[in-house]
Amino acid sequence: MPLSRSLSMSSLSGLPLWEEESLPVEDLYLFEIAWEVTNKVGGIYTVIQTKAKITVDEWGENYFMMGPYYEHNFKTQVEQCDPPSAAIKIAMDSLKNSGCQVYFGRWLIEGSPYVILFDIGGAAWNLDRWKGELWDTCGIGLPYHDREANDCLIFGSLIAWFFKELTDQLQDKPNVIAHFHEWQAGAGLVLSRSRKIPMATIFTTHATLLGRYLCAGNVDFYNNLDKFNIDREAGERQIYHRYCLERAAVHCAHVFTTVSQITAVEANHMLHRQPDVVTPNGLNVKKFSAVHEFQNLHSTNKAKIQEFVRGHFYGHLDFNLEKTLFFFIAGRYEFSNKGADVFLESLSRLNYLLRVHKSDVTVVVFFIMPAKTNNFNVESLKGQAVRKQLWDTAHAVKEKFGKRLYEALLKGEIPDMNKILDRDDFTIMKRALFATQRHTLPPVTTHNMLDDSTDPILTNVRRIGLFNNRNDRVKIVFHPEFLSSTSPLLPMDYEEFVRGCHLGVFPSYYEPWGYTPGECTVMGIPSVTTNLSGFGCFMEEHVSDPSAYGIYIVDRRFRSADESCNQLTQFMFSFCQQSRRQRIIQRNRTERLSDLLDWRYLGRFYIHARRLALSRAFPDTFKMDTFVPPPVSTTQGFRYPRPQSVPPSPSASIHSTPHHSDEEDEEPYDEDEEAERDRQNIKAPFTLGAVPPGKKKQPGEYGN
């Protein structure tokens, strides 16, 4: 059965189609195995959850996800049902009859994919036997004290057992594709291959295990990739057994993929295999799409953030909220990996620039990173209470004022404004005014921190001296909890909060992909990323001038930390110089890049990986046409041109003052006309990994 280079993709606005005949899915079963199926731990959960809809649309009832069973997650996220296939039911029954618990149902997310969940605890009695098998087969030993690794072995052994029973039932009709994500699922792949189970296998690493550990240790990772003694580094960090599992899975898989070009470079050095395909992470853009409403959503949610700021900075609210910009950084609390260190230093320099230029722009910066706390900060709660009391007082006086004015006008009189409010009204207003007096600075953090003295963010805030003083143009709010609409302090969901901000700043040092700037993009919010993040590399490859579309890419690979700080400072300072009209134009452009991040487009890379795996696992049945170019180096994409209308930022022609009025912007701008021009001016397909025309390859840059 020959496989031509074919993908059936629905039409994308502005993106050429890749028309091909589809895979014979009726003769195939596709399984995706990940520790985060129905089990939210990190970014892989987002990958598999958002990709489910397009995969179910393509594969129908022949698509299954596999993960660990957790009772609470199963009861709240899964609708239990019977398997649609007799072979799958027989395989599950075989495990159940041997004393292992397996659960089947539909995961209640968009697409409602089937899930098969394995009870790790219920099968733990087999652990010693399975450890022996792993040692005999692969020479990999797991220490008893590493519970996560032991759980992963139990999970992998159950997966391999299930596939053995299933393939015995199917007898090559239909064929099976098994896609394993990350080292936690790797044991299942290794054991399946060692037992010669007839199926096509794919392994995806979303970040190498050792890479994450090394970067957390503040080493110059990317400039020393070829100098690390991998075995020694893994051993010193007591993760050698995990590293061995990961590397074994990489080399056992028919097809090895990773999520970005920068991680492909890393994987080649850390795991000693060049990825066959790069499979970028996408989003379900439809979930975020608001067509022409996203500007209104920005305005609505910005007003909610302004209300919080009014309360948090009460008594020090001597800055104009209409000229206040909201920046934010969010994600796991990995201080160096996420670039919080560079961000804080750049904020100190930005504060200096704004003060030197006597700017009337104020920047309020939010750090949304979960840390150990014991409750809300009393001063923060008091601020919101004072704000509400002021609002209630103003509303009561307004009602009284309005009623008296209305009655006077009914009588045909112009009321005496000096008498329309009585002494009691002034007394109430004065009491409310006195309540806003404050003898302390607005708090930097909204919660009581358990490790206040050693917390990295607070330690660096003390170093740079940004304590929310009146003369500071940059204010900091550290919110050490994920956002929730039920919070008494900042009652907003993360999506609402992002829409209300002006700029997301994510100057990560280690970020294999980076969903946070991607989510900003599809919501029409400009963002800062780096050339060490998968997202930043992807945008550099696909967009001729990323900054014109509100994607600012900091060079953290070929510049020193100080130079990167200066570049980030200049990006933020230039953003502060933009007029409101320029920011609106830029948000329109940013949102226009959404199609690039849609799974309808990026899902084609997964389809290519599945085809490649089938051709390698079953070469007599599935053949790839010679027309298909070598993997990775020629997975095709498209480049957005630079917009031809008004520059999005004044960086090209800096004004003498940091902020200029909207009246200065007289350049003609037609949003619909520019959008149509962008759609028509998409450049010819280019090669992922190749250097775009006119762009010089950086020294040491990897060309895969």
Tell me, rounded to whole angstroms, the distance of Cα 688 from its chain centroid.
21
Q: 481 and 569 share a domain?
A: yes
Distance from C-alpha of 614 to C-alpha of 622, rounded to nearest angstrom = 6
Q: Sorting pLDDT into bands at 50, 70 and 90, what band is 669?
A: low
Instruction: Report pLDDT for 409.
Output: 85
Tell me, rounded to whole angstroms, the distance of Cα 349 from its chain centroid.
27
Q: 268 and 308 share a domain?
A: no
Higher pLDDT, 431 or 688: 431
- pLDDT above 90 covers a percentage of the chain that reads 68
CB contact set of 173 (below 8 Å; sequence gap of 6+): 27
Domain count, the chain: 2
Instruction: Report pLDDT for 701.
Output: 41
The tokens of 511 are what?
A: 């970020």
Residues in the chain, total: 704
Q: 167 and 308 share a domain?
A: no
For 496-518, the pLDDT digits (tens) are 999 999 999 999 999 999 999 99
Q: What angle do CA 464, 655, 343 make, to 5 degrees?
A: 25
User: Which one of 210, 243, 278 terminates a domain?
Assistant: 278
425 within some domain: no
Residue 188 has pLDDT above 80, yes or no: yes
Q: 272 and 304 share a domain?
A: no
Q: 269 and 296 share a domain?
A: no
CATH code for position 515: 3.40.50.2000
Q: 476 and 588 share a domain?
A: yes
Q: How far is CA 70 from CA 74, 114, 402, in A?
A: 6, 16, 59
SS3 category, 117: strand
253 within some domain: yes
569 within some domain: yes
62 within some domain: yes
1 within some domain: no
Q: 60 and 196 share a domain?
A: yes
Q: 347 and 247 share a domain?
A: no
Instruction: Report pLDDT for 414.
Output: 85
Instruction: Report pLDDT for 678.
Output: 60
For 410-445, the pLDDT digits (tens) are 888 888 777 787 888 888 888 878 877 888 999 999
Average pLDDT (221-225) is 90
681 within some domain: no
**Domain assignment of residue 68, given as a range:** 29-278
What average pLDDT does the chain have? 86
688 within some domain: no
User: Which one of 543, 564, 596 terminates a domain?
Assistant: 596
- pLDDT above 70 covers a percentage of the chain that reads 85
Q: 268 and 303 share a domain?
A: no
Average pLDDT (375-392) is 89
For 227-251, the pLDDT digits (tens) are 999 999 999 999 999 999 999 999 9
Q: 248 and 357 share a domain?
A: no
Helix (H) / strand (E) element for 51: namely helix 43-59
SS3 category, 539: helix
150 within some domain: yes
Instruction: Report pLDDT for 682.
Output: 37
Q: 267 and 300 share a domain?
A: no
Q: 272 and 296 share a domain?
A: no
User: Which one of 249, 278, 307 terminates a domain?
Assistant: 278
Class of residue 98 by CB neighbours under 10 A (exposed 0-12, middle 13-18, buried 19+):
exposed
Tell me, rounded to whole angstroms, the distance of Cα 597 from its chain centroid.
11
DSSP lists the bridge partners of residue 135 as: none
Residue 16, preceding bond cis, omega within 30 degrees?
no
Q: Are 40 and 72 in contact (CB under 8 A)?
A: no
Q: Are 478 and 466 in contact (CB under 8 A)?
A: no
